[in-house]
Amino acid sequence: MSDTEKPATRRGFLAGVAGAAAAAGISGAHADNAKNLPPNVADWTRQLGEGVGTRPYGQPSKFEKDAVRRTVPWLTATPESSVSFTPLHALDGIITPNGLCFERHHGGIAEVDPADYRLMLHGLVDKPLIFTLDDLKRLPRVNKIYFLECAANSGMEWRGAQLNGAQYTHGMVHCVQYTGVPLKLLLEQAGVKPGAKWVMAEGGDAAAMNRSIPLAKALDDCIVAYRMNGEMLRPEQGYPARLVVPGWEGNVWVKWLRRLKLGDAPWFAREETSKYTDLMPDGRARRFTYVMDAKSVVTSPSPQAPLRGKGFTVISGLAWSGRGKIARVDVSLDGGRNWRAARIDGLVLDKACVRFYAETDWNGEELLLQSRAIDETGYVQPSKTELRKIRGVNSVYHNNGIQTWLVKPDGEVENVEVS
């Protein structure tokens, strides 16, 4: 896909992207080369392979060109304040590979020299502290798998089906294993003064993005993380250290973390007043809506991963909840009239993605494919109609309505809505 193409219409553009991908054979099978097929001996067996050491940092197979982050050029004014999307349709399991985690920056990717990195902790504390990266690494650490979802994920879909691909409708989510220091440890070292109720986290990027977080959450499960999936954080994800705020909207997971200040009231920063608040139908706005409610999406089939033939078909997707574990995921083939429980496979962790499957024998009939997440608190992911009844259509953030994919007889898939 060319990210510089000028779309005629939003729908037309993304339909065009899917079509071009299919024409290039990106998501389909390559044309068979008969001389590589049994009983012949294939090319790759007739010659020595590349030696070790030529790829100091490994890359995916050159045939896996579809599994890349993508942008939507018209979505934002500049690439420095923009978003790229996780290719959910091209992944399986629950862990997002580091190079495919969606990115959201308000002031570009800061390039922080770890030798010059400092984290300040001050405000209502007994002893203000400054930590180097080595200081952080010397402290006891934990490993935790969490999802991170941008509050604006699915934000384009409030007024109707818009973007044709799970990557675009739901790709502002990733799930990785973080290694870092519990924030509680740092706060204990500084000594929290009586009266402290809030923590302000500030980034060291050009946006100096900051958010207010209740002290109770900071003392509960927040982490100052410096590793993701074993290796050091990627620059895009806040190298060398970011705040991990499990289950809460991605915006509070401050990257390139440079400062934590304790206070007795929230700071009412830009990102919690003019942005990241939810405009309700009566004109008032909900604020500090931190928790990401349960949500799910079928990642395959989906517009970028169409069905290639009738018969045995694996339907697959992701579900997550900011309130705890996912208890169940239901799948519907008929737009929500009938539901059946999907099979969850692999780890089911607190505030992490789960992978679900529903196998079916597809006879080529049209399907209205949906998934619905239920978390351990009993919360059920709402339909878009139910969600709009309460929230209206003025919101950008926190759209966790049930997604519908129309699977057509030729296997192509389209983003639609059912009422």
* 245 is an interface residue for Co ion by CB under 5 A: no
Q: Per-residue x/- mask for ligand MTE, residues 20 to 49, rule CB under 6 A?
A: ------------------------------
Residues with Cβ within 8 Å of 200's Cβ and at least 6 positions away in sequence, in order, are: 123, 210, 211, 212, 213, 259, 260, 261, 262, 263, 267, 269
The window from 48-56, 73-81, 247-255, 391-399 that contacts Co ion (CB under 5 A) reads: 247-255
227 contact, one of Co ion, ligand MTE, none, CB 5-8 Å limit per kind: none
x/- letters, 173..212, toward ligand MTE (CB under 6 A): -x----------------------------x-x-x-x---
Query: Quick one: which segment of 178-186, 252-260, 320-328, 369-377 binds ligand MTE (CB under 6 A)?
Result: 252-260
**Strand ranges (DSSP E) for 185-230?**
198-203, 210-214, 223-228
φ, ψ (nearest 5 deg) of residue 96: -85, 125
DSSP for 111-180, written as a single string: ---GGG--EEEEESBSS-EEE-HHHHHHS--EEEEEEEE-TTTTGGGTTS---SSHHHHH-SEEEEEEEE
Q: Which is nearer to ligand MTE, 72 or 192 (CB)?
A: 72
Does 252 engage in binding with Co ion (CB under 5 A)?
no
Position 256 contacts ligand MTE (CB under 6 A)? yes
Residues 215-244 that bind Co ion (CB under 5 A): none
Binding of ligand MTE by 400 (CB under 6 A): no
Query: Which regions of 41-135 does DSSP assign to beta strands (E)?
Result: 82-84, 103-105, 119-123, 129-131
Nearer to Co ion, 238 or 306 (CB): 238
Element (H, E) at 315: strand 311-320
Nearer to ligand MTE, 157 or 205 (CB): 205
How many of the other CB atoms lie within 10 Å of CB of 400?
A: 22
- Judged by beta carbon, residue 152 or residue 358, the one nearer ligand MTE is 152
| Interface size with ligand MTE, residues (CB under 6 A) | 21
Single out the residue of 104, 144, 351, 391 in contact with Co ion (rule: CB under 5 A). Answer: 104
Rounded Cα distance between 23 and 116, Å, is: 48
DSSP code at position 380 = B
How far is the C-alpha of 339 from the C-alpha of 170, rounded, in Å? 22
* Nearest by Cα to 175 from 331, 58, 292, 82: 292
261 part of the interface to ligand MTE, by CB under 6 A: no
Cα–Cα distance, 254 to 200 (Å, whole number): 10
Structure-token pair, residue 152: 């604006």
Q: Single out the residue of 87, 123, 240, 250 in contact with ligand MTE (rule: CB under 6 A).
A: 250
What would the two tokens of residue 76 be?
A: 């934002």
103 binds ligand MTE (CB under 6 A): yes
What the block records as the tokens of 409 is: 């007889």
- Which of 71, 167, 179, 251 contacts ligand MTE by CB under 6 A? 251
Residue 250 lies near Co ion (rule: CB under 5 A) = yes
Contact residues toward Co ion (CB under 5 A) are 104, 150, 250-251
Contact residues toward ligand MTE (CB under 6 A) are 101-106, 148, 150, 174, 203, 205, 207, 209, 236-237, 250-251, 253-256
